[in-house]
Every structure is written in C-alpha cells, then in structure tokens.
Amino acid sequence: MYTRRQTKILKTLETMNLDGLVLNAGASITYFTGLHFHLMERPVVLFVLRGQNPLIILPELEKEKLNHLSFELDSFTYPDNPALWPEVFNRACHRIGTRRLRMGYEPKQLRLLEYNLLTAAHRTLSFVDGDQAIACSRSIKDSKESDKMKKAVSIAQDALTMALVSAKIGMSEKELAAELVIQLFRHGSDQNLPFSPIVASGPNGANPHAKPSERKLADGDLVIIDWGATWQGYASDLTRTFAVGSVAPEYEHIHSLVTQANRAGRGKAGPGITCQAVDLATRSVIETAGYGECFTHRTGHGIGMECHEEPYIHAANAQILRPGMTFTVEPGIYLKGKNGVRIEDDVIITEQGSESLSSLSRELISIDKK
C-alpha cells in the first residue's frame, strides 16, 4: 500500500517537473510510509525520490520504528548532540546526489529547523509548493480509510451518549468536557484525540472556538458540544447543540434553522459538485432567514488523518468534489452575548451522491436533570 502511494505521488510530482517529495514529521509521513513521528525539538525528514529508495533522517532513539517495514528505506540517524546533526544531514544529502533537485514540500508543515539543515547540506536543493499534489492523494479515501473514519465516528457518538448521562444543571463546562474525554477513551479512541472537546454554554456558545470554562450549565442555556475521536490514525469531528431545561423560542428557532442548513449542505454534496455550491446551499438557508451575519465561518473542512485538511468547503473554493472525499458540514448561528448553535456531521462523497458517517440525533434534546 505504501509503495503504491509513493509511486502515485511521484507520478503526480513528475507532471510538475519535480524530482520528489521532502516531508517532516506529521500526517503525510504516516500516509506515505506508515511511520508515526510528531513535531519535536529533534528533526525528522523523509525524502521520496524518483529512481531511488525513500530516505529518512531521524534521531537514533526512533530507529526501532523502522523495523518490519514493507518497503526498502534508507536511513540516517543522529545522536542527541545538535552539533552533530549537520554532518548527518550532509551524509544523507550526499546519498541523494549533489545535482540540482526540485522538491515538493508542505508549506504548512516544513519548519525553519529542517529547512536550514537541508539547505546547508544541499545547496542546490530548491523547494516548490507540493501541497496540492499531496492533498490530491490524501483527500481521496479508499475503503479501508473510510472504514476507519466510520469507526472513529461510532466511538465519538457512543462516548457522547454516555457522557450526557451525567450532564445536569449546575455542572461546569469543564466537568462535562472531562467526562466526555474519559468516555472517548473508554469507548476505544486512540490516545491522540483530534482536538480537545469544546463545551460552550449560554453566551460562551456565541464563540465558535470557545474553551470549556468553569461556567455552570443553567436553565435556558443552549450548549454546543464539539468533539471527536481517533481510530487507527483517522479522525472524526462532530457537533451537536443541546438545551438546558426550557429555552426561549428564538433559540428553538435558530436551532431549527441550523438543522435545515445542515441538511441542505449534506443533500447538495455529491460527485461533480463544487465545494462552493455546498457552502452556498448551507449558507442560503441561514441568510434567507435573516441570520447571515451570525454565520461567521466556512461550512466545513476536509477530515481524515488530520482533523482539518483538504477539501475546504467555503464560498470561494471551486474545487470539484470526487468520490472518496470526506469533509464536515457544520453550519452555525452565533448570537453575541446570548447563545449559539452549531450542528456538524462528517460526510463522504460516493459514486451516487454522499453519505453522512454520523447519525446521532440532530434534534434539540434537553438536558434538564438537577
């Protein structure tokens, strides 16, 4: 599988007149090799090159990760002393050749640490934005990838269902978020959650990226819960909004609007449809009802090995959706100083249309225990 992925990306890069790919620690290294590294003070660099074995530079303490690979990989390891790193980078770059090389890279990922070591070791190495080529490979999920995402969604839904058993008036946002994290792990999520859950009640819900606080759930609140799980490296990202006791008619109304907008976006999504068309279908429901200024973010983002990746569902993106693409549909209405609503589902494009990976009720369910 990893050899096929490497071959595919190299063919794409060849059409761009590029000699290969250079990556540092992150999801793309995992996608193309199955190896897991996180960004840290010690650099990790992978070269995928035409006509050569892939080559990796990594700390000595990480070398055991290279055992049992299914493909040939040349490796160069370095000790903890940073003064010795340049010499190892020099030897690695000598292996790939001193000729001028044009390498695709990820602008959002490559750090100055790796860049400086590489350019000092290979002075004719040039870096070309390879983000779209990488995204083209990673954005189309195969059946094994989509199955992992479905499992991540299932874990997330089951975890929230159990966490809500303990939810009650007077509980703080932090307490509910903590219970949700416990349930995510109990239901099988990988250790690395895609993000820390958001629990935002009352006025805090008007901030789309609020952090759980000491604020206690109170009668009349809406509560936005945005959470996800990870299963074998693939993420889910969901949001539901709940009522605490009885809420004002306006809040019931905006919840109904967001539910309709979510349905419209999921219904519009399909092969051959543009990202901007999905955004328009979602947004028009809210704008027609007079709340357009209260929907302050894009309709969604791609999801897979990272919680945010290609494709991005916004009004200026004319990218065409293709079978295997996975993304969120997450409209919201945020009333400053009052309350907020967001409903988010994970969607996969199929040959015939689209499928929601998430099925948890989108109705306005009340948390009314005291």
Query: What pLDDT tens digit does each residue of the chain (370 aa) get?
Result: 999 999 999 999 999 999 999 999 999 999 999 999 999 999 999 999 988 999 999 999 999 999 989 999 999 999 999 999 999 999 999 999 878 999 999 999 999 999 999 999 999 999 999 999 999 999 999 999 999 999 999 999 999 999 999 999 999 999 999 999 999 999 999 999 999 999 999 999 999 999 999 999 999 999 999 999 999 999 999 999 999 999 999 999 999 999 999 999 999 999 999 999 999 999 999 999 999 999 999 999 999 999 999 999 999 999 999 999 999 999 999 999 999 999 999 999 999 999 999 999 999 999 887 6
**CATH number of the domain to which 51 belongs:** 3.40.350.10
Find where tokens 């761009």 sit: 16
128 and 156 in one domain?
A: no
Instruction: Give the domain extent around 196.
Output: 140-367
- Residues sharing a CB contact under 8 Å with residue 330, sequence separation 6 or more, in sequence order: 239, 262, 299, 300, 342, 343, 344, 345
Q: Are 299 and 279 in contact (CB under 8 A)?
A: yes
> Where among 110, 138, 166 does a domain terminate?
138
DSSP for 185-211, written as a single string? HHTT--SS-SSPPEEEEGGGGGSTTPP
> Where among 89, 106, 138 does a domain terminate?
138
159 and 52 in one domain?
A: no
- Residues sharing a CB contact under 8 Å with residue 217, sequence separation 6 or more, in sequence order: 167, 168, 169, 170, 171, 172, 173, 176, 201, 223, 244, 367
Neighbours of 235 (CB within 10 A): 29
DSSP 8-state symbol, 157 = H
362 and 325 in one domain?
A: yes
145 and 114 in one domain?
A: no
> Where among 138, 169, 188 does a domain terminate?
138
- Token duo for residue 260: 């309709």
Considering Cα of 57, then 58, then 63, then 67, what sign does the dihedral take? negative
Q: Are 55 and 47 in contact (CB under 8 A)?
A: yes
Number of structural domains found in the chain: 2
Helix or strand run (H / E) with residue 313: strand 309-313
27 and 165 in one domain?
A: no
**CATH number of the domain to which 314 belongs:** 3.90.230.10
Helix or strand run (H / E) with residue 21: strand 20-24
262 and 226 in one domain?
A: yes
Within 13 Å of residue 210, how many CA atoms lie on the same side as its CB? 28
45 and 65 in one domain?
A: yes
127 and 147 in one domain?
A: no
177 and 35 in one domain?
A: no
